[in-house]
Chains A and B, each alone.
Chain A
Amino acid sequence: MSSPILRLVAQRVLLGLVLLLAVSVLIFAGTQILPGDVAQAILGQSATPEALANLREQLGLNDPAWLRYVHWLWGILHGDFGTAQSSGLDIATSISTRLKNTLFLAACAAIVAVPLAIILGLIAVRYRNGFVDKLISGLALASTSFPEFFIGYVLIFVFAVHWQIFPSISTVDDSTPFLERLQAVVLPATALTLVVLAHMMRMTRAAILNVMQSAYIETAELKGLKPFDIIRKHAFPNAIAPVVNVVMLNLAYLIVGVVVVEVIFVYPGMGQYLVDHVAKRDVPVVQAVGLIFAAVYITLNIVADIAAIVANPRLRHPK
């Protein structure tokens, strides 16, 4: 490992931080231009003008916007996301359990979906344009095309109602033991897997097919390698960069895009938390969750970038 790689990686990380800062400005500005007054929202229509003025003073709403932004950012950097207006609870504490739940569900789905998608992609390439390839592509596309709530209800109907092997409601709390927790997320994780599978599989297939045109694939063929070994050993290593990119995008989706599935299975994750508080116009919570989601996206994309850099032998081993 020499300096060019380190420099490129440092560049990406720095760029990510700048991007995150820019996103925080956007989120803050965006919630500022929303109509409505926070003090009014807290105290209700019947509040006296004095009480409103007092509360505004108390919440610092009379400060200029940039000062409030700095306060807000300063607090976040110290782990303080403020308190939820609707419930008065500390946002950081509520989020930490819910983020844990969301990450657990996402991890369960990812552990199944990513290897499965890549292996299916490899198999599709091996039997390209044949029956197996078309079957894999067809099923994967079909599973993606169904809306996730439909898949969710079908799973509930088959596995929870008809066969009764898994619970239909995936409510968990801090005291739930690991195995029970795992059992609880089987159905939502399956639904998520079916949703993200096709995208990753198709991308793997396309990226490898692209590499299969290269002259070095012919070299491998003329060495007498088996078709699957050629794909695994000679094509896949050169297709890592695009595959990692699409995998990371899907992982990000698993974390920030699971609102519908969480609602269907009544799973206490970030998505449900966000939806609840959007409905209640709870601006601090929306800001906090928005920022966390942005951070997840940016981090995963940096990871994809870095993986692509490290996977490139020209950068790893300069002349």
Chain B
Amino acid sequence: MVDTKANSGKLLDIRNLRIEAMVYPPGEAPKTITLVHDVSLTLEKGKVLGLIGESGAGKSTIGLSSMAYGRGGVRITGGEVILNGRDILKAGPKGVRALRGREVCYVAQSAAAAFNPAHKLIDQVVEAAMLHGTATRAEAEKRAVALFKKLSLPNPETIGERYPHQVSGGQLQRVMTAMALCSEPDLIVFDEPTTALDVTTQIDVLAAIKDAIRDTHVAALYITHDLAVVAQVSDEIMVLRHGRLVEWGGTRQIIKEPRQEYTNALVSVHEIEHKEQQPGTTPFLSVKNVTAAYGGGHVKVLKNVSVDIYPAQTLAVVGESGSGKSTLARAITGLLPPAEGTVTFDGRPLANRLADRPKEDLRQLQMIYQMADVAMNPRQTVGTIIGRPLEFYFGMRGRERDKRVAELLDEIEMGKGFVDRYPAELSGGQKQRVCIARSLAAKPKLIICDEVTSALDPLVAHGILKLLLDLQQHEKVAYLFITHDLATVKSIADSIAVMYRGEVVRYGSKSKVLTPPFDAYTDLLLSSVPEMEIGWLEKAIKGRRMESAGN
């Protein structure tokens, strides 16, 4: 829009980009590491390029380089970023400010954090357009309302008067897209815009973004780790790994005929064959008509929930955020004593409150969490962390304990070398493995896994799921597996409970739950999971029977 020189429709041309950062590893001298190695890409006007890879692949870093921005201590040390015919790395602070929010806009992963809580939405949406003088306040507001409408936000005329905390996550993500479009840029960088959303909300936001891109002819860099998502919106896909280009091609070619082994691994990552086990005769843990509430009984978050767990089997609990999945886990562990109903374990009722349960009951139920790094004491070594339940439950000391720790490390495929490491020295997947070893150390009958793979990259998550399945075979441990990800459910579950607004809406063996006819909510949930197929999004939107709760 700014200038239409005869540059053959090329909007962005990144040449041999090199990006470095200072890191401060614990116990070592600070050093410079290279995040992006000589990556080049070009983007034509109105086209969408998907950048895909695991965390640490340099996707966001490359995306932000199109705004000459380096997050934290990140520095662009080599190459050229040519936007609209000029190298913006040589533009100087003033020149860079002139293009940010004008030629290139940014949509962040968490809109909830990216909006300023102190200002109304409309003030933030029109800010860039007014700052760069592309519109007067009145014009910008008119444009914003039109964009709110296009992104199918409720009450487009008045939603701008609200503050960020008054709007749901899915809606905020769309408002952020409107904010990016409001200054009519040439390029938008979408940085994992739907990753933090529920699967049922994600599909709406994805469709809204896709329509907006089509109607405004803006070009986009779409950054995500989910290949199925990026396949819906991109013209081309670039696969990155460790800051290097792996493969770059048309969307169809990448997902149908990947040329590189790594791309192939990404494409086929979701498939683990897991044969469903028939439920045994008697469950060892029964949740009967449990109702639980927060705020002294005012906010009911679990309504009359009943599920059974059989020895050495997996019950998966699925549903969107706020459906009561984690609350069910809290009720079973006694962290949130149920208001009504009982939890029976081995034929006897468990005390409602955690404080009333004997140590033996505590040992039998262990938990693993989504955020492995905050679930461990950063000042303790892996050996201390895994050894703690051995001391606490079994009174093991000294050599006996160390031997058991070594065995457990072996079971999680990590080896003895890790005993003296601190959590900060481990990767995300390794941290989660240590958490698994810690819960196994107690030799429990049941491990409650609360979104344990949600924060991990697909390939790493894949490894964790495989490990969990192996451990189930060896240790005969049962899992209560809480997740919002249906692909994970298919890989690990023997039976499934679908939760919606505090109630179990569908419950039974995996094959039964996943076989039609479906109830409306399960149908919505299943049909919202992105499939690696071009045109899936349009088909899915058309075939839907109900709106998601996020709206």
A residues apposed to B, CB below 8 Å = 214-216, 218-226, 234, 237-238, 313-314, 317, 319
C-alpha spacing A234/B108, complex, angstroms: 17
Which of B31-39, B93-101, B347-355 is near enough to bind chain A? Answer: B93-101
Residue in contact with A237 in the complex, picked from B67, B97, B99, B118, CB distance below 8 Å: B118
Q: Is B117 an interface residue (CB 8 A)?
A: yes
Question: Do A226 and B114 have beta carbons less than 8 Å apart?
Answer: no
Q: Name 15 extra pairs, CB < 8 A, besides A216-B115, A219-B114.
A: A215-B110, A216-B113, A216-B116, A218-B108, A221-B69, A222-B106, A224-B98, A224-B99, A224-B101, A224-B128, A226-B97, A234-B119, A237-B116, A237-B119, A238-B116
Which residues of chain B come closer than 8 Å to A223, judged between CB atoms?
A: 100-101, 105, 127-128, 131
The answer to whether A238 and B97 have CB atoms under 8 Å apart is: no
Contact (Cβ within 8 A) B115 A218: no
Given A313-B165, A314-B165: A222 and B105 interface contact (C-beta under 8 Å) = yes
| Least Cβ–Cβ distance between B549 and chain A, in angstroms | 16
Q: What are 25 inter-chain pairs, A to B, with CB distance below 8 A? A: A215-B108, A215-B113, A215-B114, A216-B116, A218-B71, A218-B114, A221-B69, A221-B100, A222-B69, A222-B100, A222-B101, A222-B106, A223-B131, A224-B97, A224-B128, A225-B97, A226-B97, A234-B119, A237-B119, A238-B116, A238-B117, A238-B118, A313-B117, A313-B118, A317-B162
Which residues of chain B (146-166) have a CB below 8 Å from chain A?
162-163, 165-166
Q: A224-B102, A313-B165, A319-B166 are in contact. Are A219 and B116 (CB under 8 A)?
A: yes
Closest-CB distance, B491 to chain A (whole angstroms): 33
Chain A residues near B303 (CB, 8 Å)?
Answer: none
| A220 CA to B71 CA, complexed, in Å | 13
Is B404 an interface residue, CB under 8 A from the partner?
Answer: no
From A216, A218, A224, A317, contact of B163 by CB (8 A)? A317
Tell me the residues in window 96-143 of chain B with beta carbons closer than 8 Å to chain A beta carbons: 96-102, 105-106, 108, 110, 113-119, 124, 127-128, 131-132
User: What are the residues of chain B within 8 A of A319 when measuring CB–CB?
Assistant: 165-166
A224 to B97, CA, bound (A): 4
Residue of B with least CB distance to A225:
B131
Instruction: State the CA gap A216–B116 with chains docked (Å).
Output: 5
Docked pose: A86 CA to B226 CA in angstroms? 84
Question: Is A219's CB under 8 angstroms from B67's CB?
Answer: no
Bound form: Cα–Cα A222–B162 in Å: 22
How far is it, in angstroms, between the C-alpha of A220 and the C-alpha of B105 when the chains are bound? 11
B99 and A313 contact, CB distance less than 8 A:
no
From residue A47, how far is it (CB to closest CB) to chain B in Å?
65
Report the nearest B residue to A240, measured CB to CB: B118
A214 to chain B, nearest CB (A): 7
Q: Please give the distance in Å from A218's CB to the nearest CB on chain B.
A: 7
Interface centre among A215, A314, A319 (most CB of B within 10 A): A215
In the complex, which residue of chain B has the Cβ closest to the Cβ of A317? B163
Separation of A223 and B128 alpha carbons in the complex (Å): 5
CA distance A216 to B118 in the complex (A): 10
Report how far A46 CA is from B115 CA in the complex, Å: 78
Give the chain B neighbours of A220 by CB distance below 8 A. 116
Measured in the bound complex, the distance between the Cα atoms of B105 and A215 in whole Å is 15
Contact of A317 among B67, B96, B115, B166 (CB under 8 A): B166
Establish whether residues B116 and A224, one from each chain, have CB atoms under 8 Å apart when the complex forms: no
In this complex, what residue of B is CB-closest to A316?
Answer: B163
Nearest 5 pairs of A and B residues by beta carbon: A223-B101, A224-B100, A215-B113, A237-B118, A224-B101
Chain A residues with Cβ under 8 A from B127's Cβ?
223, 225
A237 to B115, CA, bound (A): 13
- Interchain nearest-CB distance for A235 vs B (Å): 9
Q: Which residue of A lies closest to B132 (CB)?
A: A224
The answer to whether B108 touches A219 (Cβ under 8 A) is yes
Alpha-carbon distance between A214 and B119 when the two chains are bound, in angstroms: 14
Give bound CA distance, A183 to B114, whole Å: 50
Residues of chain A with a CB closer than 8 A to B71's CB: 218
Complex Cα spacing A219 to B101, Å: 9
